[in-house]
Structures are given as C-alpha cells and as structure tokens.
Chains A and B, each alone.
Chain A
Amino acid sequence: MTTETLLQRATELLAPFSKGNTTPETNRLDVQIDANDLPAATSALISNSWGYLSAITPMDLGAEANKLEAIYHFCEGAAVTSLRIQLPREDRPRIPSISNLIPVASFFERELGEMLGVDVVGTPDSSRLFLPDDWPDGVYPLREEFSIEQATPVEPHETLPEFGRTGNKFTVPIGPQHPALKEPGHFEFSVDGEVITGARMRLGYVHRGMEKATQERNWIQNLYLLERVCGICSHTHTSAYAYGVEKLAQVEVPLRALAIREIIAGLERVHSHLLWLGVAAHEAGFDTLFMYSWRDRETVMDLLEELTGNRVNYSITVLGGVKHDITAENSHSIHTALDYLEERIRHYLNIVTTDTTFLQRTRGIGTMNLDEAKHFGALGPTARASGLVRDVRIDSPYGAYHHFPVSIVTDERGDLEARFVVRMKELLVTCFTIRTIVDNMPAGELTTRFPRKIPAGETISRVEAPRGEAFYFIKSGGGENPVRVKIRTPSLCNWTSVLNKAVGHQLADVPMLIAGMDPCFSCNDRMITVRRKDDSQTLSWSQMREYGIKKYAAMREMK
C-alpha cells in the first residue's frame, strides 16, 4: 500500500474519534482525540493491522497554552499517524492505559507518568523507569517550570522489593551491577525451581537528562550531545537528528554527503554487530569467538578512524552535510578492509550455525513467532529474525537509501540462532551496499549553507539503527534552540519481547536471552543527574590516599 492509501485508511479508522485532523508532512497524519477515546482509537488501528506503536511523546505545551500533550505515534511503512491528546496542567491529568492492547506501551506510560506527571489509569506498572528512587515526588523534569533546584534528593520511599522466598517461589535480582551485564540495568526474575515465571525491569542507572538538555543548547551543540546518546550507534543518533532538523529547515543536503553518511552508517552496523557477536558468544561461554570477533572488529574501527577521525563518536555529520570526503585512497582502504571482513563474517556465520556446543545455547531458545513479534512491537534484527519485515531503510527510505537501497534479511525461526544468522547475513548485505556506494560515489559538495535559526514546526525522523528503528520527534519554535526533542531508541521496544519470552525458560538462559536482542542501556537512559547538596568535594591525591587508608582501617576494625 502506498503512503497515501495508508493515511487514507487511518483517517477512516480514526474518523469516529477525531476532533480535528492535520497533515503536517506528506507522510504524517495528526489526529486530535479526547483522552477517553484513546483505547478505542488505538484498538481501531491495531485490530485492523494498521501499524505499531513507535513511541509516546510527553510534551509540555508551555505556560501560554497551559496544556500538556501526550502524542502516540503509530508507524506503518513510511506513514506515521499521531494521536494527540491535550491534557490539563492542574489536578493530576489522567489518561487511560493502552498496555493491555500493546504491551510495549507500558514502558512509554511509565515514562509519561514520571516525566510529565500524568496519571496513566490502569497501567500494569506505574513504578519509576528512569528517574532515581530518591527523586522527590511531584517533580516532573519535562514540565516547563522544572528547575534543577527542585531535584534535591529525598529519602527513597520505594525500597527494592523483597527478595528471597515467597511461598515456593523465589525472586532473583540481577543487576544493576552484575557480571553478566555489561551495562547497568536491574531485573527481577521470579523463579519456580530453575524455571522463570515472571520478569520485571528497572532502568535509569545511566540516565543523563539529554532530552531536557537539548532545550538549553543550540541546534549545532545538540548534534554532539545526541551523538552521545549511545556509544555504539552514535552515527544513528546524529543522522536521525540531522535528517529531522534538515527537514524542518527545508535544506537540501548534497547527495554526496548523504552517500557518505550511508557508508558510515553501514560501517557502524558492521562494528556494532561484530561487537554484539562477541558479547553474545561470551554470554554463551564461547570466549574464543568473543576474542576473535573483537579482534576483527578492530579492522572496521581503524577504518572508521581513518574516514572520520575518531573510533566511536565519529562526529562526521554536520547540519547540512558531512565534514570529510571519501577520497580515492579511502575507497581503497574500504575495499581492502571489507575483503577481510567479509571472509571473517562468512566464517563466523559458519561457526554459529554449526558448532554443536554453541547451538545448544541458541537453537530453539527464546523462540518468538511472527505474531508475537508483532504483538510485542519488536524492532530491528530481533523482529526480522521472527520473519517480521520491518526496516526503516526499506519502509521509509531516508538520506541516500533511495539511491543505494539495501536488501532485507529475514528468518522465520525466531530463536536465538535466527538472530545470529540474521545479523551475520545483514553484515554481508551491508558490506555489499558499502562497496556499491564507494564505486558509484555521486559527485557534489559536502556541505550546504545551514541557518542558525530553524523555522517553527514539528517533524518525525526515523532511522534504522543496528538494533532497530530509532525514533526522533523534533519540535522547533523558530529559535536557535529546539523546543522538544524526543528520542526513542530501539532497545526500549525490544525489552518487552525479552521479558515476556523469558517466562518458561531456565534461569541460566537469561544472559543469552538478554544478549540476544543486543540491548543498549545507555540508549534507554537519557535523563537526569541529581546533585546532592553537600557531597561534592575536591580531594588532593594525598587526601584521597589518607581517606582510603582510614576507610579500610575502619573496615578491618569492624571485622
């Protein structure tokens, strides 16, 4: 179906609830609805297989409008339908939950509650997702009146749930610090014997306040701030932001610059998937594969350093173009590096599909069928391994993907093995695409003039990260700073599937199940830092040493 027919269909489905439709961009439909109609409107969309819930944007419309807004974004192909619900500022605004229809909404609703102070009625879990436990009640970071002084820590009232035995069941806490987790996150698995019966999670341990911070920085500074949303897919975030801002500014970026962005995105995918292969192999106890895949990853890291000047935060994107060209010398290095990598990737694909011991940890584990993948809102390779054809690069091509399309890799089996196969095959496809672009580099400039002030407006920018769709909602008020930047990273959507699929598995499979979706905690957590009033102090080297000696002496005495 074309985008027009999709939007037409959405208009018809939502007609009974609509209080006014607008079409801000050609691929978008905004429908104002009443809060009470939300479950019915959502149901109208999803029961007719119109799209998946991509994100919920909590937004404060400011003192003048005196309203809060919750925007529910549904995506199907290139079309985006947003249900916009205006809420009063005072008297604890209420909105009904849609988690029973769409499980992934639970995370977004927790965010809506803690960031904007909206009561989500009937949400299964209203505990904090991102904000720290000692965050004061009634202080909502995304409200306009919020200031950091309000965020003075209080005595944490929500203590961790009781661990240990309740009846015949045990609750096993994993994290925030745990050897199996490479980044901090907290999971509670209730187990019956060795079998998992329930799972819960808590994020926010690396929360940095980025969405709020974007409002205080200008459009250019934000490019580098958002690059640091994630240490693995940094280019994804800068490009998602840049594509959005370029749309708002109505600036045409030269094709050569777009092609270079696609090359970097491809190389980023290669390094991300090789990193993931290592981590996942390590979780399965296959450390040899971990060491080798990470050694080979250095090839692509060195290549990225040569092309962009940096290994991780490449900073090659600028608003309106890119910083560096790809010269003949560079294309030669790209081809040489890819020759080696392709050979290695084929080798790893062979290993993960033939090694007996390894297959015992992956084959038939965490199997998610197509319907489940749809229901849980899975994204990226996790979804594609269940046969769900969902890839923003193909559904809604951005940048140079019109000119240099990629082909999609799917697998029907839906288990951990399928996720390995999809990712490895995806790398071969990516290598092929990179070679095609390098051999057919379009001529043109690298950058174009870019205004400092962006015309008022709203846009949605979706980019396929190595882990799935990254969703950006950007609103400009016409000034030098954005009014609102909402970031939804793919890991947040994939958690639902992992937590639900963990039920019925052995506890020992948990690290592999978590690793199987390639989670990225830093992407999930973006918000607030808490400054404690008196705990900051500067110690000299000798003072610190003295402090250490005293502390350990005290500890010895206690023993």
Chain B
Amino acid sequence: MKIGSMFKDILKSFFSAPVTETYPLKKPQTAKRFRGRLHFDPVKCTGCNLCSKDCPAYALEVIILDRAAKRFVVRYNIDRCAYCGQCIQSCKFKCITMPNDDWELAALDTEKFTAYFGKDEDVARVLENPTPSAPLKEE
C-alpha cells in the first residue's frame, strides 16, 4: 500500500491548460451530428403529418391551409422540442433539418419560442386566425 498514488497527476496538471471551455467568450464547435434548432422546408411538405404524430414532445404542428394547393404552415414550439430528431426519420420527403450550429436558443421573451415555417402570406393568415390549428379552407 502506498500513499498519494495521484501525485503524478497533480504535478502534471500544474503545467497543462484547463480542460474547461470558455463559453461564451469562445463558441465551441459542436459535433457534426449534433441536433440544433429545427428548420422546415414547407415546399417539399405533403402534409402527411407523420412528423407531428411521432413527435414525443408535441412540438410540431402541421396546419393545413389547402391540401390540394400544397399550402401548409408548420408551427414549431421550440421550448417543447426535445431534440431527439425523430421527425427527421419520420419525414419521407426530407423537409426537416436540425443544423448543428444553431443552438444558442436562450431568450427572455417566450414569443421567440414559437416558429412558423411556410409561405409568408400563409404564415400571416395563420397568425391572424384565432384558432390556427383548425384547417382553413381557401376562400
């Protein structure tokens, strides 16, 4: 038995740089597969709703304005998202990406935690409507 088996470690640590990171002074590089905030491409969407059905956190909602004209708005509740990436798997049309560099999501304003994806006029219509989750018919 001996005393102080870790003396060597301690001496070594005197001469090495700290392993802790200096965020936010230096933004660390995340791994390639890291899942950041979700981005949605409504052009490819067919409104199959699988992403929203399989979302374990109920963070995604596909609002169908007009299925025939392929007009969809996707509402994404960032604060609910668990970043599991199941929606990417469920989407057969590759509408969803979660880029690895978009992860600084803290905000003081809760409104920033809801994102809409879709054509500008469609998003505007959804925002106007008081019950936006109900599908709307084209006038």
Contact = CB atoms under 8 A, between A and B. Distances in A.
A, B bound: yes
Interface of A: 217-218, 220-225, 227, 288-289, 292, 295, 298, 302, 305-310, 313, 315, 318, 323-324, 347, 350-351, 354-357, 359, 541
B84 A315 contact: yes
B1 A356 contact: yes
Contacts of B54: 218, 220-221
B5 to A, nearest CB: 5
Interface string B92-134: 0000000010000000100000000000000000000000000
Contacts of B4: 355
Interface of B: 1-6, 9-10, 19, 30-35, 53-57, 82-86, 89-90, 100, 108
B31 A350 contact: no
Contact of A350 (B5, B82, B85, B89): B5
B56 A223 contact: yes
Given A315-B84, A354-B2, A306 B32 contact: yes
19 contacts: A221-B86, A289-B6, A305-B30, A305-B31, A305-B34, A307-B33, A309-B34, A310-B34, A313-B82, A315-B83, A318-B86, A318-B89, A323-B85, A323-B89, A347-B9, A354-B2, A355-B1, A356-B2, A541-B108
A14 B19 CA distance: 60
A307 B30 CA distance: 12
A7 B6 CA distance: 52
A17 to B, nearest CB: 42
Nearest to B34: A309
A308 B10 CA distance: 33
A306 B31 contact: yes
B6 A309 contact: no
A308 B33 CA distance: 6
A289 B6 CA distance: 8
A315 B86 CA distance: 8
Contacts of B100: 309
Contacts of B35: 309-310, 315
B3 A224 contact: no
B11 to A, nearest CB: 12
Contacts of A354: 1-2, 5
Contacts of B56: 217, 220-225
B19 A359 contact: no
Contacts of B3: 355-357
A220 B56 CA distance: 8
B136 to A, nearest CB: 27
Given A292-B6, A310-B83, A221 B55 contact: yes
Contact of B86 (A220, A310, A356, A359): A220
Contacts of A220: 54, 56, 86, 90
A62 B129 CA distance: 42
Q: Is the interface of A mostly helix, strand, loop or mixed?
A: helix
A355 B33 contact: no
Q: Is the interface of B mostly helix, strand, loop or mixed?
A: loop
Contacts of B55: 221
Contact of B5 (A313, A324, A355): A355
B34 A288 contact: no
Given A224-B86, A310-B34, A347-B9, 13 more contacts: A224-B82, A288-B6, A288-B10, A292-B9, A298-B19, A305-B30, A305-B31, A305-B33, A306-B33, A310-B35, A355-B3, A355-B4, A356-B2
Contacts of A309: 31, 33-35, 85, 100
A358 to B, nearest CB: 9
B4 to A, nearest CB: 8
A318 B86 CA distance: 8
A249 B2 CA distance: 57
A75 B20 CA distance: 45
A469 to B, nearest CB: 26
B84 A351 contact: no
Given A218-B53, A324-B33, A351 B6 contact: yes
Which A-B residue pairs are the 7 nearest by beta carbons? A309-B33, A224-B56, A221-B56, A315-B84, A220-B54, A306-B31, A305-B31
Contacts of B53: 218
B57 to A, nearest CB: 8
A286 to B, nearest CB: 9
A315 B9 CA distance: 35
A229 to B, nearest CB: 13
A313 B10 contact: no
A351 B89 CA distance: 45
A221 B2 CA distance: 53
Contacts of A295: 19
Contacts of B10: 288
Nearest to A356: B1
Contacts of A223: 56, 86
Nearest to B19: A295
Counting chain B CB atoms within 10 Å of each CB, the highest count among A224, A288, A307, A355 belongs to: A224
Counting chain A CB atoms within 10 Å of each CB, the highest count among B35, B53, B86 belongs to: B86
A449 to B, nearest CB: 12
Contacts of A347: 9
A453 B31 CA distance: 35
Nearest to A286: B6
Nearest to A352: B5
